Amino acid sequence: MDKPITIRRALLSVSDKTGLVELGQALADRKVELVSTGGTARTLREAGLVVKDVSDITGFPEMMDGRVKTLHPMVHGGLLSVRDNPEHAAAMEEHGIGAIDLVVVNLYPFVETVKKGAGRDDVIENIDIGGPSMVRSAAKNHEYVAIVTDPADYAALVTEMDAGVGATGYDFRKMLAAKAFAATAAYDSAISQWFAHADQGQKFPPRRSMASKIAGTLRYGENPHQEAALYLPEGPHVSGLPQAVQVQGKELSYNNYNDANAALELCAEFRDGPPTVVIVKHANPCGVATANSLEEAWDKALACDSVSAFGGIVAVNRPLNAATAEAITKIFTEVVVAPDATDEAKAVFARKKNLRLLLLADGLPDPRRAGVNQVVIAGGLLVQDRDSAAVTEADLKVVTKRAPTEQELKDCLFAWTVARHVKSNAIVYAKDGQTAGIGAGQMNRRDSARIAAAKAAEAAETYGWSEAKTVGSAVASDAFFPFADGLLSAAEAGATAVIQPGGSIRDDDVIKAADDAGLAMVFTGMRHFRH
């Protein structure tokens, strides 16, 4: 169905005045009568345009501090009337209701008001009522009315009118209506979330609605046969990869985003620490190290598992220099994430045209920030708190006869920090601020311990070390050892200290095995499963 509707009268009422005057002039040039309200009318008049007030149409002045101005049958009758319905036409004629062919509305800045920390009264006052009502009326009646809610569509509207000799086509109005309903849905979502969380303190409200807008489609999803896109939250949110500046390289894929986010989240744990490098492959860290310089940290992180690092993601907690960039580009790297980079470092990366370099304009995110994670399952949505809790040295409980040394404690906490970002079952060996071996995603903890030790042994052979870095290391387990076998595997690899949550019904057996092996072990009392 193609039903061109000539635009003869337009109602404009916008909070965001971007492009308003230009649009008003374009409409006036095309002989469209302009009807407006409050600040919008004032802006148009100051630009020399002829504007009729809504109050001239309704016969009622704006009242109650502007809360009531467009909520009137003279407005909504002009928006909702079915033009070729005889009864509607008769009602319009009887009551002197004029048709409105175009509505240009954007809403009170509710989200912006919340973001700036306004008080409750100010927030409530920025809940738009008349605007969404007009948007929904016009969108419902899109067969006859064009509704524009996004200033980015002003140019397209003018182009459409010129192509239609002053008229809009049905397909164009359908597109605008879809955007309009999405806009009001997002607006209501933001309001409902503010009431639930900020105003009422409900972590899990009876109904949960979250709005997001598309940032772009991706080449494909996890696999080429899957389609994918990136969306950005419309409410307050933390800055991360989507807000980073991509300096160079191919567009980011679904897997790039997922893996780079895993690297960023782990690197953020060290944002206030010494120079740190994180290397991730398939969302699991394969090497993490801190050192006196980024270049040294890179060498130590790479040494943990240079095989898995090929084609990996790198995140650092300091601005990149040329020396570190040279080191990173010696192997194939998909993505590098950093707070910044020197011009010399950028020039080095530029030699690798496909490598994506992302610079974080707002720095690394706060690893302890509040928030929720969500996972879609068949028939539902799982929502939980972010795993933002952490332990300090003061939280640790020594459970073995031998207490860990100062260096062992440092290694335990380093290994524990990394382990919380490794897929369960997770085992991480660490020594002197460097991961020695990482075992991820196994069905039992013993196998994770053995795999991590095997990787450490392979690294020692590759680099010609006299022994694996697991000798004299600390080992972290993301959850308790249900049996002593995993702990004994770590002892066989040369670990001398253990950090784990504790809480197994066999804790006594595991502690005895640690004592018999001469290990020092501490309990955190906190588990960090990651699925």
Helix (H, G, I), strand (E, B) or coil at 235: coil
Q: Residue 329 is encoded by which pair of tokens? A: 């580009």
Q: What gap in Å lies between CA 357 and CA 343, rounded to an integer? A: 13
Per the CB < 8 A criterion, the answer to whether 394 and 407 are in contact is: no
Q: What gap in Å lies between CA 433 and CA 297, rounded to an integer? A: 9
C-beta neighbour count of 486 within 10 angstroms: 26
DSSP 150-171: -GGGHHHHHHHHHHTTTEE-HH
Give me the phi and psi of 105, to 5 degrees please.
-140, 135
Helix/strand/coil percentages in the chain, nearest 5: 40, 20, 40
Catalytic (active-site) positions: 140, 282
Helix (H, G, I), strand (E, B) or coil at 376: strand
Helix (H, G, I), strand (E, B) or coil at 375: strand
Residues sharing a CB contact under 8 Å with residue 283, sequence separation 6 or more, in sequence order: 258, 259, 262, 423
Residues sharing a CB contact under 8 Å with residue 516, sequence separation 6 or more, in sequence order: none
CA dihedral 329, 332, 335, 341 (to 10 degrees): 0
Per the CB < 8 A criterion, the answer to whether 499 and 478 are in contact is: no
